[in-house]
Amino acid sequence: MPRLFGTDGVRGLANRTLTAPLAMRLGAAAATVLTRDSNPAKRRPLAVVGRDPRVSGEMLAAALSAGLASKGVDVLRVGVLPTPGVAFLTDDYGAELGVMISASHNPMPDNGIKFFAAGGTKLDDAVEKEIERELDLLEDTGPTGAGVGRIIEEAPDALDRYLFHLSRAVPRKLDGIRVVVDCANGAASDAAPLAYAAAGADVVAIHNSPDSYNINDSCGSTHIDVLQKAVLEHGADLGLAHDGDADRCLAVDSSGNVIDGDQIMAILAVAMKEDGLLHHNTLVATVMSNLGLRLAMREHGIEMRTTRVGDRYVLADLAAGGYSLGGEQSGHVVIPDFATTGDGTLTGLNLMARMAGTGKTLAELAAVMTVLPQTLINVPVADKAAIADSPEVTAAVAEAEAELGETGRVLLRPSGTEELFRVMVEAADAETARRIAGHLAAVVAAV
């Protein structure tokens, strides 16, 4: 069978490719694989299940919880919370696994299922493949009587636990900083404004009224122009934009300029080095990060490692090397001393703490890195594998790389969550980047 898991969990159009029966079977398979080392005689295995506000999450959470309970796992439903909150609570409650139902930045009709192992860590490829194999072996029978898992519908202290955890991760008070936060009508609509206000910031929250249908709808980190206008309108020091499940954070300075994940990582890497917190003097990023980030890190004596696209690959490298900062240009920033995954609210807190500690504006801090012109085009495709094997695409890439030489780079990669092929070009000037990217995108589209 084809792989169900993509770059970040299992995603699809809810009730079409990602159905309630599939969710139930995934719950049962995950329960079988992720609780093998538990001791039911001592305590029944526990799963923490959270979701973002999209309407299909209610259906999928119910089905997945049923699948987990059918294999003898107790389920604690924590309701609408950010993905990093569910990861934290998986560890904090001592659960054997956690599940977040969200399609992150994708449109409302989509949804996804993300699993966490004990401790709140993301699954590696081998474990995901084991769950997929278990799907083919599942039997309809399970424990009976007292062996059936319980479903606890409410965890009243879940949000408070997560907020307290965030409060311990803020290095200093944020008094005097005015921030506009765009919650994307998503999972952080309560958590992010509360966390920023508790740290002392003057918070203006927008798109923080989810109605099950408006998540990511012309708002959040994928529509940052709305935040740019709001920052200027409210005279704020900065703006922060989250995506639907709040594992991302992008920023806007007081003049409305976008500060992306690469720039945020540059700011935090320099800050952590100065404070002696940048383990092994190393930042971990992905191949999508701007060449300007590598140049900035070199200038400040910081090593930079690169991984495949996907925050779980960043997380794996962080864990393997004992590093303390990593992330993606898209705004996934990971600070392992305080989180097992990307946490947009934690990122925002640390970014504002750097402003408070230095007395500098966000624009001044972002000047640590010069962003090279970069063009990214998402090309809809029917068969991502055919693009990778195409001789026409290979020849076009070779021609582009020969033209750019040492002044830029080309990166083509399939999306792990959508039927898209991503074409990225960096060059010394914006026009060259646009021209070459446009040509490559046309070649990809024609295959």
Tokens read off for 52: 């973002």
Beta strands at 110-117 and 121-122: parallel, antiparallel or unpaired: antiparallel
Cα distance between residue 130 and residue 116, in whole Å:
14
Cα distance between residue 391 and residue 370, in whole Å:
35
Residue 311, marked binder: no
The residue-averaged pLDDT of 239-252 equals 97
The residue-averaged pLDDT of 358-364 equals 98
Longest dimension (CA), the chain: 69
Whole-number pLDDT of residue 279: 97
Q: Record the pTM.
A: 0.89
pLDDT in tens, 145-190: 999 999 999 899 999 999 999 999 998 899 999 999 999 999 999 9
Whole-number pLDDT of residue 141: 83
Residues above pLDDT 90, as percent of the chain: 85
Whole-number pLDDT of residue 20: 98
Cα distance between residue 352 and residue 335, in whole Å:
15
The residue-averaged pLDDT of 136-144 equals 88
Whole-number pLDDT of residue 41: 67
Cα distance between residue 12 and residue 419, in whole Å:
10
The residues, ordered by sequence, that sit 6+ positions from 198 with a Cβ below 8 Å of its Cβ are: 163, 166, 167
Collapsed DSSP state (helix, strand, coil) of residue 205:
strand
Whole-number pLDDT of residue 441: 96
Q: Which of 38, 104, 324, 330 is catalytic?
A: 104
Give all domains of the chain, ordered by start, each with its CATH number: 10-158 (3.40.120.10), 165-366 (3.40.120.10), 374-446 (3.30.310.50)
Residue 247, marked binder: yes
Whole-number pLDDT of residue 428: 86
Residue 91, marked binder: no
| Residue among 313, 318, 244, 329 nearest 11 (CA) | 244
pLDDT in tens, 400-444: 999 998 778 899 988 876 789 999 999 989 999 999 999 999 999
Catalytic site residue 104? yes
pLDDT in tens, 309-345: 888 889 999 999 999 999 999 999 999 999 999 999 9
Beta strands at 97-101 and 46-51: parallel, antiparallel or unpaired: parallel
pLDDT in tens, 247-269: 999 999 999 999 999 999 999 99
Whole-number pLDDT of residue 226: 96
Whole-number pLDDT of residue 84: 98
Collapsed DSSP state (helix, strand, coil) of residue 209:
coil
- Say if residue 38's pLDDT is above 90: no
Across all residues in the chain, what is the average pLDDT?
A: 94
Residue 182, marked binder: no
Cα distance between residue 71 and residue 318, in whole Å:
33
User: Which residue is it, tokens 């959470």?
Assistant: 61
